[in-house]
Structure 1
Amino acid sequence: MNKFKNKPILILAAFAIALSSLSACHSDDKEKQDQQAEEQTQAAAETPTVELVPVTKGKLSSSISIPGELIPYQQVDLYAKVNSYVKKLLVDIGSEVHAGQLLVVLEAPEINSQLAGAQSRIKQYEAVYYASKATYDRLVSTSKTPGTISLNDLEQAEAKKNADMANVEAAKSALKEVSANLAYLEIRAPFDGVITSRNVNLGAYVGPGGKGSDPLFTLQDQNRLRLVVSVPENYTGSLSNKSEVNFTIKALPNEKFTAQVKRMAGALDEKLRAERLEMDVYNKSKKLLPHMFAEVNVPLPDGDSTFVVAKTAVATSTEKVFVIKVVNNKAQWVDVKKGLTSGDMMEIFGDLKPGDKLVKVASDEIRNGSNVKEKQ
C-alpha cells in the first residue's frame, strides 16, 4: 500500500529534474548565441565593410556667390576754380545734362578789373615797343652812311627794341591768364549724366574746393554702371576676363541681370586679400541706381584636369583633410587639399593616381592601417 502512495511523488520529482535539465540546456544555448553575436559585432568593428570608388581625373566647373556694388561708370564733384558768387543756377537735382552743357554762371567783379588792366598794359607796352622799333629802324637806315652811327649804339637800340617786344608778349600772356579765370566763371558738364546733388543757392560765395568743402554739384554717368566685386584669394586662379556673371538686386527680386567681366585688378587688396573685378552694366531703363548692392554669381571655369571625387570621400579632422585609400584590404590616410566643388563632387589635390580605390564615405573612425572589407 505504501508503495503506491509514493509513486506520484516520484513522478513529480522526475518531471522537475527534466525541466531543470532542459532549462540548463536552453541557458547554455543562449549564452553561446550571445557570445557569437558579440564576436561578430567585434569583428565587424575591427574590419568594417566599406563601399569603394575609383579615383578619376576630370574637370569641374563651379561658381561662387559674393556681394557686389553698382557704382557710376563716371562720377565727378564740380567745384569753383576761383573765388566768386553764384549768379545763375541752370540745373538742379535730377537734371539730365549733356557734355559741354552750361550748369552754373559765377560772378567775380575783380576779374573784370584784372582783365581791363591786362588789356591796358598790352597797349602801354605796345606803344613803347613801337617807339623803340622806330628808333632802331632810323639808326639802321642812318648807319648805311659810314661813320655816322657807331656799332654799339645800333646794338643798344636793337636790344631795347627786343626787350620792349618781350614786355608786350608778357602782357599778352597775363591777359590770357586773366581770360582763363574769366572762363572758369562758367561751369560746364564734362560728360553726359545726371545731377545727383546740389549744395549751393543763388548769391552763395564759392571758392576752390578743399578738404572738407562741399562741391557745387555731383554729376554721375548712370547710363552705364560698374558692377564691382572682390573675389577671395582662393578663387582668383580660376578667373577669366571673358566670363559672364549673373546678379540680382534686393529692390528687384523678380529680375535677373547679366554682365560681362571687363576689368581685373591683377593684384590683391592688402586688407581684403581679394582681387577686384569690374563688369559693365548698361542701364538704359534706369531701373538700376548707383550704390545698389547686388548678389553676384561669379563662374569659375574649369582648369587643368584634376582628381574629382564625391564630397563624402573627403574627411576632415582637427588636424588634416584626407581621403582613405584601400590597398590590400588595408586603410591608408592620404592628405589632400580641397579645390572647387560642384553639386556632390569636389576637386582634390594629393598623392593619388587614377585607379586608386577610395572609401566612398570616409571618416576618422576608420583608422589609418586598419583592416577593411569591400562591400560587394
Structure 2
Amino acid sequence: MVAGAILARGLIERARTRSALDTWTNDQAVQTVALAKIEQNAAFRTLSLPGTIQPYNRAAIYARVSGYLKSWNEDIGAHVTTGQQLASIDTPDLDQQLDQAKADLASAEANAALADLTAKRWRALVASQAVAQQAVDEKAGDAAAKKAVAEAARANVRRLEALEAFKNVVAPFDGVVTARKTDIGALINAGSGAGQELFEIADLHKVRIYVQVPQAFTAELHPGLKAKFVLPENPGQPYDATLVTTSNAVDSGSRSMLVELQADNPDGRLAAGTYCEVQFQVPGDPHVVRLPATALVPVDKGVEVAVVGPDDKVAMTPIKLGRDFGDTVEVTAGLKPTDRVIDSPAETLQAGDAVRVQAPAADQVAGAAPAKAD
C-alpha cells in the first residue's frame, strides 16, 4: 500500500509538471506585440525642412583696370553705401595711354581743321572755273575723312577717361563688406577671368531663404504662403517669412523643388549662408490617418500592416499611402483610427497567428500628455 501511494503521488506530480510545461510552452509561442499610435490627420500640419539664408543682393567686386593696389578703405563687416570708395588702384600704364590719346586727338583735330579750311577754299575757286570739280570733291572727301579720324580719337579719349574712373573701386549698392581678398601693393589684373576678386558686398536689409521641398508637398506651396523659420542658435525665436516664388521644376535626383522665401532683416541678425529650419503650415485631410513608418510591411503588390483582430489574431491588411513625412506616413485607404496596428512587426509574423498585446507605455495611456517628437 505504501509503495502504491508513493507511485501514485509520483505520477500525479509528473502530470502536473507536464501540464505546467505545456502551458508555459504555449504561452511562449504567443508573441507579445506593441501597438502603433494611429493619429487622425489635423486640418493643418507643420512641415519642417532645412533652408539656407542668402543675401537679398550679393556682388563679387573685381577690378576693371590693371595696376597695383594703392590703398583700401573698408574691411570686412563695414557698412557701405552706394558709390562709397572701397579701394584705389595705381595705374601708370593707363595714365600714359590717356596722355597719348589726348595728344592723338589734338593732332587729329588740327588735321581735320586744316582739311576743312582747304576744302572751303577749293569750293570757292570752282565758281571761277580755276580748278576742276574732281579736285574740289577730293578735298571735301579728305576733310570728311580727317573729321572722322578726329571723332575716333575723341572716342578713344572718352574710353580711357572712363577707365580712369575705375581706378577707384566703389560699392555697387548699400550693404556689408563680407570679404576682402587683397592688400596694398598687390598686382591687380582687370576682369573676372584672370583677375582676382577684391571684395564681396552683401545686401542684408532683406534675406532670401532657399528650401528644397519634396515633390509630395509642392502642390500646397504657392507665392504668398506664410512660413516661420528658426536658427539653431536661437531655437525659441521664430522669424516670419513669405514664399515669393518656386523654380517650377523638380530635380530628378532628389525629387524636390527649390522654393524661395524672403524675410525682413532690419537689425542685420540674419547672416549670409546661415542654416535654418523652415516650418510650413501644410493643409491636411481630416479623413486621413497617420501611422508610424515602422509599422509598414512592404510586399510585392504594395504595402500592408499587421492588424490585431477582436480574437487577438493577426490579419495582414493592404493599405494605400499618401504623403511621407519621414517618421510618419499618411494612410488614405484601408485603415480606420480604431484599428489595432502592430508596430515593428516581426518578419516571422503571419496572418492568423495569435498574439498578446503589450500594455501601453505611460505616455500612451488615456489622459497622459503625448510625447513631443524631435
What TM-score, normalized by structure 1, do the two folds share?
A: 0.71
User: Aligned to 1:337, which of 291, 310, 321?
Assistant: 321
How far is 1:354 from its partner?
12
Question: For the residues of structure 1 that align with 2:187 and 2:290, how far apart are their CA atoms?
Answer: 70
Return closer, same or farther for 1:292/1:134 CA change in 2, 3 Å cut-off: same
How far is 1:234 from its partner?
2.9
Who is 2:120 aligned against?
Answer: 137
Question: For the residues of structure 1 that align with 2:106 and 2:87, how far apart are their CA atoms?
Answer: 33
Query: Given residue 227 of structure 1, which amino acid in structure 2 is its aligned partner?
Result: I
Aligned residue pairs, count: 349
Please state whether the residue corresponding to 1:230 is helix, strand or coil: strand
Residue deviations 1:305-343 (CA, integer Å, cap 9, x gap): 97557779x853344324799xxxxx7944412326699
User: Aligned to 1:260, which of 221, 227, 242?
Assistant: 242
Query: Given residue 336 of structure 1, which amino acid in structure 2 is its aligned partner?
Result: K
Question: For the residues of structure 2 that align with 1:87 and 1:199, how far apart are their CA atoms?
Answer: 14
How far is 1:288 from its partner?
2.3
Whether 1:162 aligns to 2:169 is: no
Residue deviations 1:181-225 (CA, integer Å, cap 9, x gap): 111101110011111222223233212255686422121112222
Who is 2:216 aligned against?
Answer: 234
Who is 1:299 aligned against?
Answer: 280
What TM-score, normalized by structure 2, do the two folds share?
A: 0.71
How far is 1:239 from its partner?
1.9
Please state whether the residue corresponding to 2:48 is helix, strand or coil: strand
Who is 1:288 aligned against?
Answer: 270
Query: Given residue 299 of structure 1, which amino acid in structure 2 is its aligned partner?
Result: F
Q: Structure 1: any 5+ residue segments left out of the alignment? A: 1-12, 14-18, 46-56, 326-330, 371-376
Instruction: Give the aligned CA root-mean-square deviation in angstroms.
Output: 4.7
Who is 2:101 aligned against?
Answer: 118
User: Aligned to 2:71, which of 68, 76, 88?
Assistant: 88
Q: Is the contact between residue 118 and residue 171 of structure 1 (CA under 8 Å) also seen in structure 2? A: yes
Residue deviations 1:232-264 (CA, integer Å, cap 9, x gap): 233223322222222221222332222111221
User: Aligned to 1:127, which of 110, 116, 134?
Assistant: 110
Query: Given residue 165 of structure 2, which amino acid in structure 1 is its aligned partner?
Result: A
How far is 1:163 from its partner?
0.6
User: Aligned to 1:204, which of 186, 192, 213?
Assistant: 186
Compare 316-325 and 282-291 and name the one that shifted more.
316-325
Structure number, greater radius of gyration: 1
Q: Is the contact between residue 88 and residue 168 of structure 2 (CA under 8 Å) also seen in structure 1? A: yes
Question: For the residues of structure 2 that align with 1:97 and 1:354, how far apart are their CA atoms?
Answer: 61
User: Aligned to 1:247, which of 225, 229, 237?
Assistant: 229
Question: For the residues of structure 2 that align with 1:204 and 1:58, how far apart are their CA atoms?
Answer: 63
Who is 2:54 aligned against?
Answer: 71
How far is 1:93 from its partner?
2.0
Q: Is the contact between residue 306 and residue 348 of structure 1 (CA under 8 Å) also seen in structure 2? A: no
Query: Given residue 321 of structure 2, which amino acid in structure 1 is its aligned partner?
Result: K
Who is 1:183 aligned against?
Answer: 165
Q: Structure 2: any 5+ residue segments left out of the alignment? A: 31-39, 308-314, 353-374
Return closer, same or farther for 1:211/1:353 CA change in 2, 3 Å cut-off: same
Question: For the residues of structure 1 that align with 2:87 and 2:318, how far apart are their CA atoms?
Answer: 72
